[in-house]
Structure 1
Amino acid sequence: MVQPISDAELDIMKIVWANNESTLFSHIMDGLKIKERTWQKNTVITLLSRLMDKGFLKAKKTGRRNEYTPLVTEKEYQTFQTKNFLDKIYEGNARGLISNLIQSDLLTDDEYNSLKSLIEGGKWNE
C-alpha cells in the first residue's frame, strides 16, 4: 500500500524518478537547487529518511556516498494519488471528474481530443 507523502518529500521523489535509477545524494541536492529549494543538508537527510521509512526509497552506501533507489514508481504514486483524489472529491465517480474538466474548460483542445480518442478507441495520442 502506497502512503501519502508531503510536498517536500514529493520534490525529492521527482528528482529520483527523473533519474530512472539510483540517485546520489549530491544529485538530489543539485536538483533541489534547480527547483530553488534552499534546504539544509540535514533537512534533506531527514526527508530521505522519512521516504525510506514509508517504503519509497532504499539507500545503498557506495564508498562514502549514499545512493537512493526508488521502491515506488512515479506511475504507482500517480495512480494512488488519483484514486485518493477521486474518492475524496468525487466519491469515486470518474465521470464527475471528467465532466468537470470539460465543462470548466480545464482541458486544452489537444488534451480533449486525446482524451476523447482514448475513451473511444483505447489509444492515447501523446
Structure 2
Amino acid sequence: MCTKNIKISDAELEVMRILWREDQALSLSDIRTELSEKMGWETSTIATFLRRLQKKGAVSVQEKEVHYYMPNITKEEYTALKKRSLIDKLYDGSTKNFVAALCQAGELTEADIDELKMYFRMGDKDK
C-alpha cells in the first residue's frame, strides 16, 4: 500500500488512534463508545470519518454481522510520513535544520540535549 498520498485530518486521526491502539478489527459501536465520551461526537459523525478513511485507503472494512474496521497503515508509517512531510515543507528537507530550530527555540532542555548526545554516541558504537 502506498502511504505517501494518505492525508488524515486531526479528527480522523482520533479514529485511527483507537484502531492502532486496539490492534484488532473494531465495529463502529466499539469506536463510538470511546469517541462519544471523549469528543462528544454522534454516531453519524464517526461513521463519516470511517467512510472517509476507507475511501483514502487508510482503513479497510471486514463485513461480518456488522462492519469491522482495521487500519491499512501503521502508526509508525503514518508518523514517519508526517515527520518527513513537516521537515520537507518547513525545513527544505533538512533534518539538521529542524533539530537546530528546536534547540534555538528553547524546545529542548539541557537534559533532552544530553540524552540525545548519549543516544547518538551509543549509535556510533553499533557501527
Greater share of helix residues, 1 or 2? 2
CA contact (8 A) 2:91 2:98 kept: yes
After TM superposition, give the deviation of residue 116 of structure 1 in Å: 2.0
Structure 1 runs of 4+ aligned residues shifted over 4 Å read none
* CA apart distance, 1:29: 0.9
Matched, 1:40 2:46: no
Q: Does 1:116 align with 2:111?
A: no
Q: How many residues align?
A: 121
> Secondary structure, in 3 states, of the residue corresponding to 1:122?
helix
Question: What code does the residue aligned with 1:45 have?
Answer: A
CA distance in 1, matches of 2:72, 2:111: 33
Distance in 1 between residues matched to 2:111 and 2:55, nearest whole Å: 40
SS at structure 2 position matched to 1:39: coil
- Partner residue in 1 for 2:88: 87
Aligned-partner Cα distance in 1 for 2:73–2:111: 30
Sort the Cα spacing of 1:101 and 1:31 in 2 relative to 1 into closer, same or farther, 3 A. Answer: same
Amino acid of the residue matched to residue 39 of structure 1? W
Question: Displacement, 1:108?
Answer: 4.0
Q: CA offset at residue 26 of structure 1? A: 1.7
The amino acid across from 1:26 in the alignment is: S
Shift of 1:47: 0.9
Compared with structure 1, are the counterparts of its residues 112 and 26 closer, same or farther at alpha carbon in structure 2 (3 Å cutoff)? Answer: farther
TM-score by length of 1: 0.85
Percentage of pairs with the same residue: 31
With the length of structure 2 as denominator, give the TM-score of the two structures.
Answer: 0.84
Are the counterparts in 1 of residues 36 and 42 from structure 2 also a CA contact under 8 Å?
no
1:56 Cα deviation (Å)?
A: 0.8
- Show the counterpart of 2:102: 101
Task: Check 1:60–1:82 CA distance in 2 against 1; reply closer, same or farther (3 A cut).
Answer: same
Is the alpha carbon distance of 1:112 and 1:66 closer, same or farther for their aligned partners in structure 2, counting shifts above 3 Å? farther
Amino acid at match of 2:50: L
Matches of 1:22 and 1:113 in 2, distance apart?
41
Distance 2:31 2:85 in 1: 28
Structure 1 unmatched ranges of 5 or more: none
